[in-house]
Structure 1
Amino acid sequence: MADDIKTKLERYRTAPFDARFPNSNQTRNCWQNYLDYHRCQKALEERGVDVAPCDWYKRVYKSLCPMSWIEKWDGQRDDGNFPGKI
């Protein structure tokens, strides 16, 4: 399983199509992948498991989201006032 994820990450070029977000506006896709990454990381760290599979979400949100949004959300998480449920 880990080899399969590593292979996918090596071949990764851009965010794949996600049927949950069929429209051209990918704002919600960006937001959802940001949340999914941090939820995945939190869940796997609590179990003491390698968090490498979560890197898929990180690559997707980094390719979809403007850096200013990511920096803002990271700052909000650090300050404890992030609006999403992680």
Structure 2
Amino acid sequence: MAEDMKTKIKSYKPAPFDSRLSNQNQTGNCWQNYLNFHHWEKAMAVTGGDVSMCKWYPCVYKSRRPISWVSAWDDHPAGGTFPGKI
């Protein structure tokens, strides 16, 4: 277990800088990457593309925000109350 964690730490890469979004408050960055992930995943499912290419976005938005926010966002589309357009 400890070796697995050491491997993860060595291979960890933080999300890259996005010049479109503020460098101080990363809420917009997280939100945009969350939406991008769902748009990309939906497009790949429709066209029959490789959905595994979408895995970069969750790494970015999960590194920018608390996981509790992300889990709350995941609950909203199922209930039909999600404020973004997916």
Indicate the TM-score class for this superposition, using the shorter chain for normalisation: 0.7 to 0.9
Counting only pairs closer than 5 Å after superposition, residues 1-86 of structure 1 correspond to structure 2 as 13-86=13-86
Secondary structure of 1:74's counterpart equals helix
Question: Runs of 5+ in structure 2 lacking a partner?
Answer: 1-10
Query: TM-score, with normalisation over the residues of structure 1?
Result: 0.82
Which stretches of structure 1, 4 residues or longer, exceed 3 Å deviation after superposition?
none
Q: CA RMSD in A?
A: 1.2
Number of equivalences: 76
The share of aligned pairs that are identical, in percent, is 54
Q: Measure how far apart 1:12 and its partner are.
A: 5.3
Q: Measure how far apart 1:27 and its partner are.
A: 0.5
**Distance of 1:83 and 1:25 partners within structure 2:** 20
Which structure is larger by alpha-carbon Rg, 1 or 2?
2
Q: Measure how far apart 1:23 and its partner are.
A: 2.5
The equivalent residue for 2:5 is none
